[in-house]
Structure 1
Amino acid sequence: MEENKYKKLFQITEKLHSSLDVNTLLGELFVILQEVYPDFSYYLLLSQDTHSHNDLPIIDLDYDSENMTAIHAYVSGNIQFENSIVDNHAILYAPLKGGQGVYGVLQIIAPNTPHFPDHEIEFITLLARCAGSALENAQLYQQSRRAIADLQLINETSHRLNSNLRLTETMTFMSEQIKTSFDAEEVGFFLFSHDQVKVKVLSGSTPFFFTKQARSYIDYIKEKIQKGSGPLFIGDLNLANITSFHSIMAVPMIQRQKLKGFSIIMHQIPYFFSFETFKLLQSLLHHSSLALTNSLLREELEKLVITDHLTKLHSRKFLDEKIQRSMKKDEEGTFILIDIDNFKEINDTYGHQIGDEVLIQLANLIKRIIHGRDIGARWGGEELAIYLPMVPLNTGIALAKSLVEKVSESTNPPITVSCGVSYWNKERLDSYQYLFKRADEALYIAKETGKNKVIIQGDNITVS
């Protein structure tokens, strides 16, 4: 019988080592135990188990467990015994030991005996070692495959991000990568303002982060990140009046040792993300930070190129390009050239700083009255301009009149402006240069005939 049992052990060893899948291996172990010890009961206590075994007698091995005998077997790596005279059964705890550590404890219960049978101890010890070695091999194999997959994810993401994507494309790609790779429900990217007080939700974040419901999560993470908490790994978040998302991972985005923003990844199920996932996320964002920074810097540079530094309106070059493009693809458009009346007197009376402030006030008024595709620009000096694509002449005149009326009320010291309005449509041959020339001539007439008025393109009609 002993000889047959050890022959069986050899077959068991071959069988356990033939699989590199943890779930399959553990299933085989319980089949073997059922064959060899049909009258015994058994449980497997596993440490750091990330698998689901609803159909197997497997429980987590917790360090705060009341079963100190099992803990001792795990820590010492030696077989432990427990006897119950009252229940008349004996328990053996055999550590599943591999070459690099102990992976769990096999609990075997022998009924109707006060002491565990001596002749079974050696066999169970060998069986546990065999199972421990097979489990170690399977886990190492799966870890290596996961490491390879993680490296491929990081490499592919870094390669894609370094292909000069724009910021929105970069963030959208990152969001999709994280949702796919981490099974995340919500992914958000946030950029701090220059004073570190406010955060802007970047395009590419999932829609949830643009809602009011997301503010509590964003503000909570923002406060933690600003306090220097570093990356955050929260298994079960519980905030007042917030119950939707429990699993949270957040990673700060740092550029040249300065906090620029952060990312948030969320799931509704508590403890959904593993710590391995958290480490992968940090690595992914670390390797992607250069591409993200480059996208931010590139867009900041582009914004500087197309924006007047004083008024924050668009530059003339940008406006020129937009008008020429509009005249090729749109049906019509209205152009308004604006000049501050007696601007030299303002500079001479109040100083150039006040003159700059007046320009800024006028620019802010223009920003308030235009919308959609409309473009406000600094034309040069005290001249500003508005272009209204796909807007008929009457609408453009009404906007110019409104601007002239509101200027004196919205500026301090109060100023007035003169406007020249020109218009084009597809029905007649026209050009960008001629569109500007007509508006410039109309503006000249407005200045020469009393100022503080609107003149339409070369027909010498005073509108206000």
Structure 2
Amino acid sequence: MGMNNESLYKELFRVTEKFHSSMEVENVLSEIIYTLKRVFPNFKYSLMISNDNHYNQDLPVKPLQYDSMDDRAMQAFINGSIQIDTTCDTKLTRLYSPLHGKQGVYGVLEVITYASFSFEPNEIEFIRLLANTAGNAIENAKLYQQSRSLIEDLRLINETSHVLNGSSSLNETTKFLKAQISKSFHAETVAFIFINEDNTSSILEGSSAVFETSHGKLYIQFVFDSLKKQRDSIFISDLSGKMRDIPLSFLSIMAVPMIEGNSLKGFSIVLHEKPYFFTFDMFKLFQSLIHHSTLAISNSILREKLEKMVITDQLTQLFVKSYLNNQIKTSMTNDKEGTFILLDIDNFKEVNDTFGHQVGDDVLVQVANLILENIRTTDIGARWGGEELAIYLPGVPLGAGAQIAKRLVEAVQNKTNPPITVSCGVSYWNKERKDEAKNLFNRADIGLYDAKNLGKNQVVIKEDYQII
């Protein structure tokens, strides 16, 4: 081939120095090909690498796939020895040399020439030494990169734990965690799922919107069903054919259970459109992140439950009076106008005396549910006291508020069992006149009193005296 032993060893010495000066795997691979082209310019080369990194497209790198490898290439990889194969059909000779490090084999170097060529012993020895030296260099580069990656992973976990331990709301917790996951794994499709006491699942705030769709819920159910059988993390590189043969928008999935004590509290999911997108190192880091975050998420959920209990009437599930008062005072500072409705169940004592207090409680719940059906999520329904209930409509003008009150009176009359009626007093405020919350309450209370005296089952607006 035009190079004697001395030249070959000089070349080997040169490339060894190059290998030791780099901690980048791609640089090592580039130097292998460069050296081989200098020594054997008429041959062709490829590198079968046993990892999932992405390399420069100019490098002749192909993945080491066990199911499609040539038998001799597989023997070189498993046995760690050079293999030579001459095929008459292709009229080619292939030499396979393992990239051997101290801890294992990292790939196979493939050298391709014409079938009539016969490698000299010194040439085979040169290729073996080159491949071994490259294998050691790849191993060192990988160990260096892994140590740096481990430091970054620990920094990420510590930062995440520190922020989550100081976070107060569930929304803050999940939003921050989603941002950390998206940044680390280059994936925007993230879900945090909480398992309820009745063994149903709820999507937590901060999860990607796709999980609210019917398609996204299929992934949630797939993970939930898997975790019911076995509480192991899920790492699937290609979901094709694994989810009831339905067309899938996302093919890569990682899912990790949130376990506190021996209890499965929920799970987190990360998806990507491409198959084989997530690496095993990403999966291990995702597991660590979720394991370190589970307690913070559980505490945030518990805190919000307790906060809701404090401001929620346990019978009607409406807000309590103190919460309503505070929201009205805030609204009178921030909004331009608002309407307040105070309603009372007519003849409620007769309901209790006739049907019993359990039915009376059920009637209160029925009216509360009708209130919730007839107001927006931004409106506030509350139990004012006893059989009195209240509604506050921030930013709603008087006419629209009065119509809501009238609609509610009609709904109660037509949809309760036993049939009952309610009377309503309505008051209103706006920025154009000086007003206070207590005056708003007093006007509605007077309107309610008038509605009762005028025959009940009606609405009275206590601004200018009106009956509707």
Q: Structure 2 length as normaliser, TM-score?
A: 0.89
Q: AA paired with 1:236?
A: D
Q: Give the corresponding residue for 2:340.
A: 335
Match 1:17 to one of 17, 20, 24: 20
Give SS of 1:162's match.
helix
Q: AA paired with 2:296?
A: A
Aligned residues of 2:170 and 2:297 also touching (Cα < 8 A): yes
Aligned residues of 1:441 and 1:458 also touching (Cα < 8 A): no
Q: Give the corresponding residue for 1:207.
A: 209
Q: Give the corresponding residue for 1:134.
A: 137
CA drift at 1:377? 0.2
For residues 54-110 of structure 1, what are the alpha-carbon distances to aligned partners after superposition, in whole Å with 9 as ceiling and x for unaligned? 323333333334522222222222333445688787554332221211112223356
Q: AA paired with 2:383?
A: R
Distance 2:263 2:104 in 1: 41
Give SS of 2:360's match.
helix
Alignment of 1:138-157 (within 5 A): 138-157=141-160
Alignment of 1:235-314 (within 5 A): 235-238=237-240, 239=243, 240-314=245-319
Pair 1:56–1:330, CA change in 2 (3 A): closer
Pair 1:345–1:121, CA change in 2 (3 A): same
Aligned residues of 2:86 and 2:115 also touching (Cα < 8 A): no
1:399 aligns with 2:401: no
Aligned residues of 1:333 and 1:388 also touching (Cα < 8 A): yes
Aligned residues of 2:87 and 2:115 also touching (Cα < 8 A): no
Give SS of 2:384's match.
strand
Distance 2:128 2:399 in 1: 94
Q: AA paired with 1:210?
A: E
Q: Give the corresponding residue for 2:224.
A: 222
CA drift at 1:229? 5.8
Aligned residues of 1:89 and 1:115 also touching (Cα < 8 A): no
Pair 1:85–1:267, CA change in 2 (3 A): closer
1:187 aligns with 2:180: no
Q: Give the corresponding residue for 2:236.
A: 234
CA drift at 1:359? 0.6
Q: Please say which of residues 421-430 and 307-316 is displaced more in the overlay.
A: 421-430
Aligned residues of 1:84 and 1:114 also touching (Cα < 8 A): no
For residues 248-296 of structure 1, what are the alpha-carbon distances to aligned partners after superposition, in whole Å with 9 as ceiling and x for unaligned? 2222333443333333222222211122212221211211222222222
1:62 aligns with 2:65: yes
Distance 1:66 1:458 in 2: 86
1:323 aligns with 2:325: no
Give SS of 1:203's match.
coil
Distance 2:92 2:459 in 1: 103
Q: AA paired with 1:7?
A: K
Distance 2:50 2:148 in 1: 20
CA drift at 1:24? 1.2
The alignment of Structure 1 onto Structure 2 pairs a total of residues equal to 462
Give SS of 2:343's match.
strand
CA drift at 1:337? 1.6
Alignment of 1:403-422 (within 5 A): 403-422=408-427
Give SS of 1:269's match.
coil
Q: AA paired with 1:230?
A: D
Q: Give the corresponding residue for 2:10.
A: 7
Distance 2:15 2:81 in 1: 22
CA drift at 1:317? 0.9
Q: Please say which of residues 366-375 and 41-50 is displaced more in the overlay.
A: 41-50
CA drift at 1:53? 4.5
For residues 16-35 of structure 1, what are the alpha-carbon distances to aligned partners after superposition, in whole Å with 9 as ceiling and x for unaligned? 11111111110011111111
Match 1:383 to one of 358, 379, 388: 388
1:423 aligns with 2:428: yes
For residues 214-265 of structure 1, what are the alpha-carbon distances to aligned partners after superposition, in whole Å with 9 as ceiling and x for unaligned? 3433333333333336322222223544142222222233344333333322
Q: AA paired with 1:195?
A: D
Q: Structure 1 length as normaliser, TM-score?
A: 0.90
Aligned residues of 1:47 and 1:61 also touching (Cα < 8 A): yes
Structure 2: gaps of 5 or more residues:
none
Q: Please say which of residues 433-442 and 445-454 is displaced more in the overlay.
A: 445-454
Match 1:463 to one of 461, 464, 467: 467
CA drift at 1:115? 5.0
1:29 aligns with 2:32: yes
Pair 1:341–1:126, CA change in 2 (3 A): same
Aligned residues of 1:311 and 1:360 also touching (Cα < 8 A): yes
Aligned residues of 2:47 and 2:60 also touching (Cα < 8 A): yes
Distance 2:382 2:20 in 1: 74
Distance 2:161 2:391 in 1: 42
CA drift at 1:111? 4.6
CA drift at 1:180? 2.3
Q: Please say which of residues 309-318 and 413-422 is displaced more in the overlay.
A: 413-422
Aligned residues of 2:15 and 2:31 also touching (Cα < 8 A): no
Pair 1:345–1:37, CA change in 2 (3 A): same
RMSD: 2.7
Give SS of 2:317's match.
coil
Aligned residues of 1:23 and 1:51 also touching (Cα < 8 A): no
Pair 1:412–1:119, CA change in 2 (3 A): same
Aligned residues of 2:237 and 2:251 also touching (Cα < 8 A): yes
Aligned residues of 2:49 and 2:64 also touching (Cα < 8 A): yes
CA drift at 1:360? 0.3
Aligned residues of 1:249 and 1:278 also touching (Cα < 8 A): yes
Aligned residues of 1:88 and 1:114 also touching (Cα < 8 A): no
Give SS of 1:59's match.
strand
Distance 1:339 1:88 in 2: 96
Distance 1:422 1:88 in 2: 96
Distance 1:86 1:430 in 2: 96
Aligned residues of 1:83 and 1:115 also touching (Cα < 8 A): no
CA drift at 1:420? 2.4
Q: Please say which of residues 35-44 and 324-333 is displaced more in the overlay.
A: 35-44
Identity across matched positions, percent: 54
Q: AA paired with 2:22?
A: S
